[in-house]
Structure 1
Amino acid sequence: MAEAAELSDQPLFSCRNCQNPLALRSNLLSKNFWGKTGPAYLFSHAMNIIVGQKEDRQLITGLYTIADIYCCNCGEVLGWKYLRSYDVRHKNREGKFIIERAKISKEY
């Protein structure tokens, strides 16, 4: 319960489908990304997610090894986790999370 109390003091992003907390505002790195269906945010950390199987996928900025991420409560596909970048210019994305804007709601 202490963890939930600490989370309630910080702005966070939740699953739009079930309100499950997904990421803290302090983990938001950028709002200038694009997901499968539209605008997306880049986060340094995400919680309450399930990481799917890894696969190589050609994205707008190059080839990556990624894994889709899902809400652990309702199973909604939220975005993906960057596992590997084949382009040295995008190595900084490795280990970070893309969550589509349409899949989350912001809470305070």
Structure 2
Amino acid sequence: MGDSIIGGPRIYSCYKCRNHVALHDDIVSKAFQHVCSGKKEDRQMMTGLHMVADVHCADCREVLGWKYEKAYEESQKYKEGKFVLEKYKIVKENW
């Protein structure tokens, strides 16, 4: 439904170089484009210990967020394979 806007689909772009990184309709999916994952590492997050990888813009390499690779706590397993893009690192286009 988000694609029905006259100017095209609603897009999230890198705040630094404006590379398109995700469609609004991808927000609850795992289908992010034009991003690269960094090295996997264990990180203590607010919700417990997780294995994560930083997510970089494929063009300018700016870190935009992270991807949950593994959740060690059973209650957090739903996050595995999902991305987090930090709001201040992305801009909205066609909204």
Q: Same fold (TM over 0.5)?
A: yes
State whether structure 2 residue 29 is matched by structure 1 residue 20: no
Aligned residue in 1 for 2:3: none
Q: Secondary structure at the match of 2:31?
A: coil
Answering whether residue 50 of structure 2 is matched by residue 51 of structure 1, we say: no
Q: Hey, what's the Cα distance between the residues in 2 that align with 1:51 and 1:97?
A: 10
Q: Deviations over 1:10-67 (max 9, x none)?
A: 11100010110111111123xxxxxxxxxxxxx6332111110000000000000000
> Could you tell me how far apart the structure 1 residues matched to 2:27 and 2:50 are?
21
Q: CA deviation at 1:9?
A: 2.6
Offset of 1:88 from its aligned partner?
A: 1.0
Consecutive unaligned residues of structure 2, counting only runs of 5 or more, are 1-6
Q: Report the structure, 1 or 2, having the larger strand content.
A: 1
List alignment gaps of at least 5 residues for structure 1: 1-7, 30-42
How many residues align? The count is 88
Equivalences for residues 63-78 of structure 1 within 5 A: 63-78=49-64
Report the Cα distance in structure 1 between the residues aligned to 2:12 and 2:81, rounded to whole angstroms.
19
Q: Which of 76, 83, 87 is matched with 1:90 structurally?
A: 76
Classify the secondary structure of the residue corresponding to 1:45.
coil
